[in-house]
A and B are shown apart, each in its own frame.
Chain A
Amino acid sequence: MASLMNAMVDTPAIGATFDLATQPLRELNRFLHRDLAGTRAVRVLNPDGAHNIAVGVDAPVDVDIDGHAGYYAGGMNKQAHITIHGNTGPGVGEGMSSGAIHVKGFASVAAGASAHGGLLVIDGDASLRCGISMKGIDIVVGGSVGDYSAFMAQAGTLVICGDAGDGLGDSLYEAVIYVRGSVKSFGADAHEEPMSEADIAALGALLKAAGMSHDPKTFRRVASMRGLYHWNADANQEY
């Protein structure tokens, strides 16, 4: 329990605090993987843009990161609820399979990349390729997303409360996008479809879970035309 002793433990059974200005990242992640033993909350001070904070956690613990995080914050998360009180670098929540990540600021490229499940909420904007290759995660972006968001997205839902850049939903599989603002352009095989009652209900539940108050009826649904599912020589590669 060396790492536990290094952690400034507020109340051992409930919460622990790590200060990345004085403690190495390795100690934090090791604690989160191995030494939680009933700890329900972990606070991370002075993250200062460090990469790989709280990656690979597999426990129902609340992690609060007090500041900006670098690459892959909360990467491959399971069960944990991670809140980033700042901005994040590339690949926040990449590969996560359950739990939740809440970015209070902005997110860089590839947010929620290839993630299988859980909920990723970004209060601000997300950059390029938000939700790339997503495989079942739900992502709610309070602001706008950059180009090629939901590229090759396979499953899950991407909610964009602001605008989308070029190539939205390029080569989409079965993931669904709801967008409230403008779309600069759709990517290959993506198109707008009518909103059904089921869409409105599902979107309403997601917005509620994300703490957003928009009316689901003000969103549009974007999904795959399924025209690229089978390789077609006659398409002349004009995707």
Chain B
Amino acid sequence: MNKPVEFHKCMQLEESWGYDRKTLDYIHNASAHGLYEIRGLGAKRRVPHFDDLVFLGASLSRYALEGYRERCDTRTVLGTRFASKPIELAIPITIAGMSFGALSANVKEALGRAATDMGTSTTTGDGGMTREERQSSKTLIYQCLPSRYGFNPDDVRRADAIEVVIGQGAKPGGGGMLLGQKVNPRVAKMRTLPEGVDQRSACRHPDWTGPDDLTIKIQELREITDWEKPIYVKVGATRTLHDVKLAVHAGADVIVVDGMQGGTAATQTVFIEHVGIPTLAAVRQAVQALEELNMKDTVQLIVSGGIRTGADVAKALAMGADAVAIGQGVLMALGCNHDSYFQNGAQHSAVEDYAALGTAPGYCHHCHTGKCPVGVTTQDAVLEQRLDPAVGARHVRNYLKTLNMELTTIARACGKQDVHHLEREDLVALTVEAAAMAGQPLAGTDWVPGR
């Protein structure tokens, strides 16, 4: 007689969707500390993005350009509305505003060198202009932020353009934050703050409120700079349609729209993940605002927030942006989240240093601690040596070069002799959400949700 089949009871563990391990961890942490989490980088959640769009390459109905031989221009001019000295760039890919304080002086220098080599611009941040970045950057955009740390008339005159920052995508409605461990003597002096304070800056400008005041503020900056330098206005993506119209009304030459995937050096996680709209939705609204005001090509649009690849750049341009700005991508090109760093002619593992922060390469968002294992987001005298400006510049240059090659590859495939000729008609969406947000038809249909 055969033995009866034995039924082995397996434990079937069911994880809750609403109270999964991540949520439990959050609740346990909150209950233990009574304190929200602060971290760096941008939103980690999946949101509709440029990945959800694809290009319609040329075929019988369109004529392609020879991918390797025929010319495809990338020259980009920003600030043509009122400024007598507009910004002329060789590529439409710029480096976003990031502060000295959040980043080391070596990193600012590396970014400046790479941008100069590639014929593009770099941008200061909440903390003023460093000597290193001015010297290394041919074209430097000087941010005017609510805190006004280090914002002074000499550097206004030294700048090539002024960017009035209303907000940023990671935290629209919030002010800057730099925890005490990064406020070393030089950072403190530049910001006129005591050393080591937890710097939490204001979310509104000290001397103007609202778009009518901003109009006068922009006039002041123009008068100070004798109407030479372009004035950018940067907004975090929220009510983008209205914000862009108001910025145009206020007299901006260039508008920078930063979506929710944009990075930060330190912000509350709840803010990063739950405030602001995806870049994809923001680009469409910003372009619509410019078109409704008949200001497209008069006022230029820079898009930022999660631009990583040449495809992202191409899609932003096709949707109507004139240029993009990249923050996190260039930090990653410098080694952010890499498992090792290059110093004194050799590669060294950084894994243990990530572990000491309670993280690992690929997962790190600990910019706020100032203990960046690869020496990028730090003010520590030892750690910052892990990023050699010359090495960093080479990596960022390679990254930008790759993006630009990818961009022109796509543009040629779409039959464009100039990357700025990419157009909405070249794009379709892969998901209903992306179709609705971007206002592009779902692939294989002529259906745009809501139209």
- List the interface of chain A (C-beta within 8 A of B): 25-26, 29-30, 33-34, 51-52, 55-56, 58, 70-72, 75-78, 90-91, 94-95, 97, 109-110, 113-114, 116, 129, 132-133, 135-136, 151-152, 154-155, 173-174, 229-231, 233-234
Contact = CB atoms under 8 A, between A and B. Distances in A.
Nearest to B151: A95
A110 B202 CA distance: 14
B153 A78 contact: yes
Interface of B: 33-35, 147-148, 151-154, 156-157, 179-180, 191-194, 197-198, 200-202, 206-208, 213, 216-217, 219-220, 223-227
B33 A52 contact: no
A96 B224 CA distance: 12
Nearest to B191: A154
A230 B148 contact: no
Contacts, number: 109
B220 A230 contact: no
Nearest to A109: B207
Contacts of B152: 76, 95, 97, 116
Given A52-B219, A55-B220, A95-B152, 6 more contacts: A29-B226, A52-B220, A76-B156, A95-B151, A97-B152, A129-B206
A58 B155 CA distance: 13
Contact of B226 (A30, A51, A72, A229): A30
B220 A75 contact: yes
A132 B207 contact: yes
Contact of B207 (A30, A114, A233): A114
Contacts of A52: 216, 219-220, 223
A174 B188 CA distance: 12
A58 B153 contact: yes
Given A71-B213, A174-B194, A133 B224 contact: no
A133 B198 contact: no
Contact of B223 (A26, A70, A90, A114): A26
A151 B207 CA distance: 12
Contact of B225 (A51, A56, A155): A56
Q: Name which of B33, B153, B194, B217 has the most chain A CB atoms within 10 A of its CB.
A: B153
A167 to B, nearest CB: 14
13 contacts: A55-B224, A56-B153, A70-B216, A90-B207, A90-B208, A95-B148, A113-B206, A114-B207, A132-B207, A151-B206, A152-B202, A174-B194, A230-B180
A94 B202 contact: no
Across the A-B interface, the 3 shortest Cβ-Cβ residue pairs: A56-B224, A91-B207, A114-B148
Contacts of B154: 78, 97
B216 A154 contact: no
Nearest to B147: A133
B220 A133 contact: no
Given A91-B207, A135-B148, A136-B192, A231 B200 contact: yes
A51 B219 contact: yes
B206 A71 contact: no
A231 B196 CA distance: 11
A136 B190 CA distance: 12
B212 to A, nearest CB: 10
A233 B157 CA distance: 42
Contacts of A75: 220, 224
Contacts of A34: 226
Contacts of B192: 116, 135-136, 154-155, 173
Contacts of A25: 223
B53 to A, nearest CB: 41
Given A33-B226, A72-B216, A132-B206, A233 B34 contact: yes
Nearest to A72: B220
Nearest to A75: B220
Contact of B197 (A70, A72, A229): A229
A71 to B, nearest CB: 5
Contacts of B33: 233
A154 B202 CA distance: 12
Contact of A113 (B200, B207, B216): B207
B213 A90 contact: yes
A91 B226 contact: no
Contacts of B156: 56, 76
A97 to B, nearest CB: 6
A155 to B, nearest CB: 5
